[in-house]
C-alpha cells in the first residue's frame, strides 16, 4: 500500500540521500494516551503502565494520504515541509484503532500487564501499540514497528532503512517548501530516477491539496 511520512525539507534531503527515515521511540509519542489509552483512576494501574512503557519499542509513523490540509498544517510547518510516499508491504503495517473512551484495566500487576485480556478480547499490549483517542483519527495513521539493533544508527539516532518492502516511490514538496523540484533532485543525486517529485498546491475545487502541474 502507499503510505506517507511528513518531515522537514532538510531531513527529507538527508533521508532520501541516505535511504532511511528516523525511528520514533515509544516513549516520545506526542500524545501520552497513545501508549496508555486506559483508565488510570487506580494509582496502581498508572504505576504498572509507567513500568511497562519503559520498554524500548519503536516505529515509523505513516499515514494513508497526503492531501489533507490538517496534516500539512500540523506536521509540515504550514506547508513548508515535504511528504515522502512509500510502497509498503501490507503485513509490515499496523493500523491505528481510534476510540472515544479509555479502556478499563483487568490488572495492576506490571508483570502480567502485557498478556492481560480486555473485555472486548484484545490484549493490553496490542491496545498499547495500536490505539489512540479518536480526536486523532484525521491522521489515518499506520505504524511500521522496528527493531533497535544498532545497525542503522547515526549520532545516537536510530533509522529505518528503505528496502523492497519499504520503498520510496514519490516525494511531495509542500506548497511553500523553499526547494524547487529541480533543486530537490539535484540535492539527492543517488535517488532512483523512477521516484516522482511533485509540488502540492491548494486544490481549486475542494478543501484539500493536489499536485501542481506547472511546478518545476
Estimate to the nearest angstrom the gap between the alpha carbon of 19 and the chain centroid. 17
- Model confidence pLDDT, tens digit, residues 154-202: 888 889 999 999 999 999 999 999 999 999 999 999 999 999 999 999 9
Closest CA to 211 of 183, 181, 191, 187: 181
Q: How far is CA 31 from the centre of its chain?
A: 13
For residue 133, how many other CB atoms are within 10 A of its CB?
Answer: 15
Write down the domain spans for the chain.
Answer: 2-211
Cell of 99: 476510540
The per-residue pLDDT for range 197-212, each reduced to its tens digit, is 999 999 999 999 999 9
pLDDT in the model for residue 163: 95
Which is nearest to 36 in space by CA: 52, 23, 56, 57? 52
- The pTM for the full model equals 0.90
**Alpha helix positions (H), the chain:** 9-18, 43-52, 69-75, 124-130, 181-187
Amino acid at each position: 500500500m502507499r503510505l506517507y511520512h511528513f518531515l522537514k525539507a532538510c531531513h527529507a534531503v538527508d533521508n532520501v540521500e541516505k535511504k532511511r527515515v528516523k525511528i520514533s521511540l515509544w516513549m516520545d509519542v506526542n500524545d501520552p494516551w497513545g501508549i496508555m489509552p486506559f483508565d488510570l483512576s487506580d494509582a496502581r494501574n498508572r504505576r504498572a503502565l509507567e513500568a511497562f512503557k519503559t520498554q524500548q519499542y519503536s516505529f515509523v509513523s505513516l499515514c494513508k494520504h497526503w492531501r489533507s490540509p490538517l496534516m500539512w498544517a500540523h506536521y509540515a510547518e504550514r506547508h513548508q515541509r515535504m511528504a515522502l510516499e512509500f510502497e509498503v508491504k501490507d503485513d509490515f503495517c499496523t493500523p491505528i484503532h481510534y476510540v472515544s473512551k479509555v479502556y478499563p484495566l483487568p490488572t495492576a500487576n506490571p508483570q502480567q500487564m502485557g498478556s492481560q485480556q480486555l473485555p472486548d478480547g484484545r490484549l493490553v499490549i496490542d491496545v498499547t501499540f495500536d490505539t489512540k483517542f479518536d480526536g486523532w483519527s484525521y491522521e489515518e495513521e499506520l505504524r511500521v514497528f522496528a527493531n533497535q539493533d544498532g545497525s542503522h544508527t547515526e549520532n545516537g539516532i536510530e533509522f529505518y532503512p528503505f528496502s523492497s518492502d519499504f520503498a520510496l516511490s514519490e516525494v511531495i514538496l509542500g506548497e511553500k517548501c523553499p526547494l524547487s523540484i529541480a533543486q530537490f533532485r539535484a540535492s539527492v543525486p543517488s535517488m532512483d530516477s523512477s521516484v516522482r517529485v511533485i509540488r502540492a498546491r491548494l486544490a481549486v475545487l475542494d478543501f484539500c491539496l493536489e499536485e501542481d502541474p506547472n511546478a518545476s
